[in-house]
């Protein structure tokens, strides 16, 4: 089987899609990435990423990017403090020594999203990414696809990979399996210039991460290299809560009032999250796909990452699974022993779905354990066992 002279379209320029593109280009494939962002300078939101040796780092090594990664990652950003609702520390691993060498499952280096994307983009051939290309639809053409974007352009590709995230628009061309609401909704936020705008919490996080658990609720904090502080609240809400709660999530005062009521049994230290105008907030109901999802493989279309197996962020597996998907998919598409692309894709998808089902099950259990009445004890005991 050969991918030479076939046009490959990757829809979405996140870590999974960019890693796949790097790996395929190294094998001589003709690949374009179609990204909805207007350009490379769009701010990357969200918490830092921690790469795992058996998945994310494995893909990075295969892509020949480990040395570049070591220049960009943030030593000690993986340091964790586990605290209760009153900001009392119950576990703190800041005294543990760090190493830049890969040597076991405990090495999970953190990197901010923006420098990580820049690293991956710099590794690609010039003009690989077509910016301002928001996917609208596609239709079969011969053995491939015509792809339509909202900027009015149309392109043809022999092979399409959906790497467009949890709200993938391409997924429906592969399967109609719907996501399942997990029961938990996150409010994601980011406070810029946190040392000035949230000084107590910035000091508490100590350049790393904080997991705060109590009374079946959670707040996760992550310090970022640009001086901002990202956070996720975790509460059990109805699936339609975002639409029915009446909160304007762009209005920090309305959100602050909700927080004071919903977290009334937590300490006042957390009010700093909503006291700065240099911030943003977005609600994210947490979904996952069925653990046993399956579909009939296509010879010219597949998907990876959150498009294939979205899950809540309570095991740190999202980016790692996407990058491992990219590695396994690239290996299959360029392997000589498969007679055709459908066989290669079928083998990739079966393995990917089995692995994703297992990780989703672990993630959902972790989410439940962390938001149980004894969630704090569960997490402290787990990390003490690791250390």
Could you give the CA distance from residue 301 to residue 144 in angstroms, rounded to a whole number? 9
Q: Is 260 annotated as a binding residue?
A: no
The annotation status of 36 as a binding-site residue, yes or no, is no
Closest of 192, 236, 208 to residue 375, by C-alpha = 236
Euclidean distance between CA atoms 45 and 37, whole angstroms = 13
**113 annotated ligand binder:** yes
Determine how β-strand 135-141 pairs with β-strand 144-149: antiparallel
Q: Supply 270's token pair.
A: 């957390």
Is 50 within any annotated ligand binding site?
A: yes
Q: Which residues are annotated as a binding site?
A: 43, 50, 113, 306
Extract the annotated binding site for NADPH. Answer: 43
Give the residue numbers of the binding site for FAD: 50, 113, 306
């Amino acid at each position: 089987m050969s991918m030479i002279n076939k046009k490959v379209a990757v829809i979405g320029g996140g870590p999974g899609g960019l890693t796949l593109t790097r790996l395929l280009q190294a094998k001589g494939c003709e690949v374009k990435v179609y990204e909805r962002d207007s350009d490379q300078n769009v701010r990357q939101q969200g918490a830092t990423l921690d790469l795992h040796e058996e998945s994310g780092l494995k893909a990075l090594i295969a892509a020949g990017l480990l040395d570049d990664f070591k220049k960009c990652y943030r030593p000690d950003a993986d340091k964790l403090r586990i605290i209760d609702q009153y900001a009392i520390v119950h576990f703190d691993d800041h005294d543990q020594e760090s190493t830049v060498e890969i040597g076991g499952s405990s090495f999970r280096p953190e990197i901010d999203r923006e420098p990580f994307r820049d690293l991956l983009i710099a590794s690609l051939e010039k003009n690989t990414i077509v910016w301002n290309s928001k996917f609208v639809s596609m239709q079969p053409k011969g053995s491939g696809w015509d792809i339509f974007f909202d900027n009015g352009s149309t392109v043809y590709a022999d092979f399409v990979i959906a790497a467009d995230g949890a709200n993938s628009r391409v997924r429906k061309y592969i399967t109609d399996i719907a996501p399942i609401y997990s029961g938990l909704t996150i409010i994601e936020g980011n406070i810029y210039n946190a040392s000035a705008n949230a000084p107590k919490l910035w000091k508490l996080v100590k350049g790393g991460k904080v997991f705060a658990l109590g009374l079946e609720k959670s707040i996760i904090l992550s310090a970022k290299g640009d001086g901002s502080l990202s956070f996720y609240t975790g509460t059990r809400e109805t699936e339609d809560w975002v639409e029915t709660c009446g909160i304007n999530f762009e209005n920090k005062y309305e959100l602050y009032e909700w927080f004071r009521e919903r977290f009334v049994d937590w300490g006042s230290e957390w009010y700093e999250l909503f006291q700065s105008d240099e911030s943003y907030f977005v609600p994210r109901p947490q979904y996952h796909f069925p653990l046993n999802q399956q579909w009939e493989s296509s010879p010219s279309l597949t998907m990876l990452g959150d498009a294939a197996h979205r899950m809540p962020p309570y095991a740190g597996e999202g980016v790692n699974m996407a990058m491992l998907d990219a590695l396994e998919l690239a290996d299959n598409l360029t392997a000589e022993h498969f007679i055709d692309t459908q066989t290669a894709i079928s083998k990739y998808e079966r393995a990917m779905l089995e692995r994703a089902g297992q990780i989703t099950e672990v993630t959902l259990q972790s989410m439940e354990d962390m938001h149980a009445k004894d969630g704090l004890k569960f997490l402290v005991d787990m990390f003490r066992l690791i250390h």
